Structure 1
Amino acid sequence: MHAAHGSLSLRQYGPSPGSHAHDHFQVLLGLEGTLELEVQGRGQRVTAGSGCVIAPGERHDFEADGKAHCLVLDTAEAGWAQAVGAPVQPATALALARYLQLALARQDSLAQHYGPLLLLDCWRAPQTRPARSQRRIDWNSLTTWCQQQLHTPLTVADLAQQVFLSPTQFAVRCQHETGMRPMQWLRDLRLQRARQLRAQGLAMADIAGRCGYQSASALTAALRQHTRH
């Protein structure tokens, strides 16, 4: 064991011995059950995968039903000062705690030497935020809706409302998922529909009105420009 880093132990908590304090850091990492703590008048709960760092001199008390098992580190290592009040990542912490639980049972284990350092490293690991799930855009349904509205002056906000996104969110998603900005995507729909109607023999003036263009000449110019691109 490297005494400078502290001493690791496995403890099962039961009745409280009363409020007390230590002249060193005490690090608790839950393995099983629930340990209710009161540190300097603040309530905390340690469950499997969660932890608590009690600073030197902080008075604390606990309550447990006898089934609360924790990995405990008593240490004077100054680096733990930055971990007081900081959360730990549950999955990583629990995996490490369970490994150390098994390792401490072996006489030839290096757990007492490296365990405290690994625990401190675990507390220092950056907290990752769960990825936010994105609302799926049903492009087929949006296309069908737009085709029924092509005669109107649609806006980005109109499109975004149909898929329950903000205009900004929709613009970003549209660019990412279709490779086009919203108005480019809408213009393609208008011109695709215009070509279909022209193939059916409709007059350009009639097609322009149905596809949201103010005149036949404006539609003709848009078709020419779109063909060149």
Structure 2
Amino acid sequence: MHPSTTAALSLRRYGASRGSHAHDHFQILVGLDGVLELEVEGRGRRVGAGDGWVVTPGERHDFESRAGSRCLVLDTAQDLWAQCAGRSPMAPQLLSLARYLALCVTQAPPPAAALHHAPALLLEAWGPSVPNGRRRTIDWPALAAWAQAHWHRPLSVADLAAVACLSPSQFAQRCRDEQGMAAMQWLRSQRLQQARQLRSSGLGAAETARRTGYRSPSALTAALRQR
């Protein structure tokens, strides 16, 4: 599996057959039952129910489970996980969260909202993402580009927070601190800015409204005039 900016959640069973590999993305393991024996770059680690571990890109790791075990596994390229490497998750509710997400993975079709927010929830379970009170910079241009690619559906603060790997409350506060406005106000300003650019390039009102998620050309016109 080679994720880029996306994350993949899966439920995996491990047995007595010893495996060994490395990959170019982060792999987050959360134990559901049984015990998974890990050896990461020569260091031993046991992942039991409610335990978790972060395997970083390029780390060769051996794994086996003599009595069998199950783990919730997140494969992701999100580099915030680098700050969680080498330490166990802090949240006592991790096992309950992992069991819920494992249930979601097995449903057909799986609940889209649960899987969408799973990476941020698991990251939060590891505790503060940056030590000593320092905060990771939010890539606002990249976040704006992501929003522009998703105007076809309603977007919420929780959606933006999940992309930034923050909780909704953390993201809302960061938006007020760094952008000087509420998160939904920032989102509306991004949509309006793109609509204005499209109209300035000569695109018709109907097509601009369709591309930027306004319900009608008249709603777009009203928003532009109000602005």
TM-score by length of 1: 0.51
Report the AA paired with residue 69 of structure 1.
R
The corresponding residue for 1:50 is 51
1:118 and 2:124 correspond: no
Counterparts in 2 of 1:90 and 1:68: CA distance versus 1, 3 Å: farther
TM-score by length of 2: 0.51
Q: How does 1:96-111 map to 2 (within 5 A)?
A: 96-106=97-107, 107-109=109-111, 110-111=113-114
Counterparts in 2 of 1:66 and 1:10: CA distance versus 1, 3 Å: farther
Is the 8 Å Cα contact of residues 4 and 77 (structure 2) preserved in structure 1? no
Superposition deviation, residue 16 in structure 1: 3.8
Aligned length: 125
* In 1: Cα distance, 2:78 partner to 2:101 partner: 19
Q: Which whole-Å deviations, capped at 9, do the CAs of 1:86-121 have from their partners, x for residues lacking one?
A: 111363110110110112223140232111111011
Q: How does 1:152-191 map to 2 (within 5 A)?
A: none
Q: Which whole-Å deviations, capped at 9, do the CAs of 1:172-214 have from their partners, x for residues lacking one?
A: xxxxxxxxxxxxxxxxxxxxxxxxxxxxxxxxxxxxxxxxxxx
- Identity among equivalent pairs (%): 54
* In 2: Cα distance, 1:96 partner to 1:18 partner: 27
* In 2: Cα distance, 1:70 partner to 1:12 partner: 7
1:102 partner SS: helix
Moved more, 33-42 or 105-114: 105-114
* In 2: Cα distance, 1:95 partner to 1:118 partner: 12
Superposition deviation, residue 78 in structure 1: 0.6
1:80 and 2:81 correspond: yes
1:74 partner SS: strand
Moved over 2 A (4+): 2-5, 15-19
Is the 8 Å Cα contact of residues 9 and 73 (structure 2) preserved in structure 1? yes
Q: Which whole-Å deviations, capped at 9, do the CAs of 1:27-86 have from their partners, x for residues lacking one?
A: 000000000000000000000000110000000001102520000001100100000011
Q: State the Cα RMSD in Å.
A: 2.0
1:56 partner SS: coil
Structure 1 gaps, min length 5: 127-229
* In 1: Cα distance, 2:56 partner to 2:50 partner: 20
